[in-house]
Amino acid sequence: MSRLRIAIDGPSGAGKSTLGRALAQRLGLPYVDTGAMYRAVGWAVAEAGLDDAEQIVAYVQGLELDVDPDPAGFHVRVDGVDVTDRLRHPDIGRMAAKVAAIEGVRDWMVPRQQAVARAGGVLEGRDIGTVVLPDADCKFYLTSDELTRMARRAEQLGLEEMGAEVVGDVLERDRVDSRRKHSPLRPAADALHIDTSAQTVDESLAVMLEEIARRG
């Protein structure tokens, strides 16, 4: 079980983080939020005040990016500083989408994500089943209707209701992630699609566990 590698992909607010953590805890596996890794890089780039793609690629080469893949408390550190609590603001999300669209940044990031999963783990993001772990033991692609995803995004941000900023954030991330040239958001051919719109976490988790058992 320790070598099991599971890929979870899908758009913002589809339930990847919640289900990824729950699945990792149930199976006793490490958990990696790859979106948080890009957010951490986006935060660092914003702090450095960089905008040019070539400058950004050169800058990230010198970054030290570490993760604590504990499903009960996933953390990301940049140059030794824990930045986990700084990553959910919409501005950081937009910067993450920008840096994630840069080929040189992805070339730098993917080997680091693969290294974390070398001994097994649950990785969630937008290109896990297609690029990061194309040979994963089990792949899932989560979807949900837009209204549900926006409501979940507002909850992630600690907001009582979703406003125009949340709506714009979700729609813009969908547009950028699905249309970017390098590693766009799309389901792997062999991924199981799960619509989480009307399912509880336990219901979706049961579907995932059943699929993992089916694949042996």
Query: What is the pTM assigned to this prediction?
Result: 0.89
CA–CA dist 32, 164 (Å, integer): 30
Residue 90 CB neighbours (<10 A): 16
Lookup: tokens for 102? 């840069």
Residue 94, SS3? helix
Residue 3 CB neighbours (<10 A): 11
Would you list the DSSP string of 53-100?
HHHHHHHHTT--EEEE--TTS-EEEETTEE-GGGS-SHHHHHHHHHHH
Place of tokens 């059943």: 210
Statement: residue 5 has pLDDT above 80: yes
Statement: residue 1 has pLDDT above 50: no
Instruction: Give the pLDDT mean for 52-67.
Output: 97
pLDDT digits (tens, 9 = 90+) for 80-119: 999 999 987 778 888 998 999 999 999 999 999 999 999 8
pLDDT digits (tens, 9 = 90+) for 117-159: 998 999 999 999 999 999 999 999 999 988 888 777 666 666 6
Statement: residue 44 has pLDDT above 80: yes
Helices 53-60 and 34-48: angle between axes, nearest 10 degrees: 110
- DSSP single-letter state for residue 191: P
Instruction: Give the pLDDT mean for 168-195.
Output: 81
Least confident of 28-42, 64-78, 112-126, 148-162: 148-162
Q: Which CATH number fits domain 5-207: 3.30.499.10, 3.30.70.60, 3.40.50.300, 3.90.1150.10?
A: 3.40.50.300
Statement: residue 75 has pLDDT above 90: yes
CA 80 from chain centre, in angstroms, equals: 21
Would you list the DSSP string of 24-55?
HHHHT--EEEHHHHHHHHHHHHHHHT---HHH
CA–CA dist 66, 64 (Å, integer): 7
Instruction: Give the pLDDT mean for 22-38.
Output: 96
pLDDT digits (tens, 9 = 90+) for 10-22: 988 899 999 999 9
Lookup: tokens for 164? 């125009």
Q: Which of 112, 104, 103, 107 is nearest to 36 (CA)?
A: 112
Tell me what the pLDDT averaged over the chain comes to.
89
Statement: residue 165 has pLDDT above 70: no
Instruction: Give the pLDDT mean for 32-44.
Output: 96
Q: Which of 214, 193, 213 is nearest to 14 (CA)?
A: 193
Return all residues near 208 (Cβ < 8 A) that are at least 6 apart: 19, 23, 140, 192, 194
Phi/psi of residue 174, each to 5°? Answer: -60, -45
Statement: residue 161 has pLDDT above 60: no
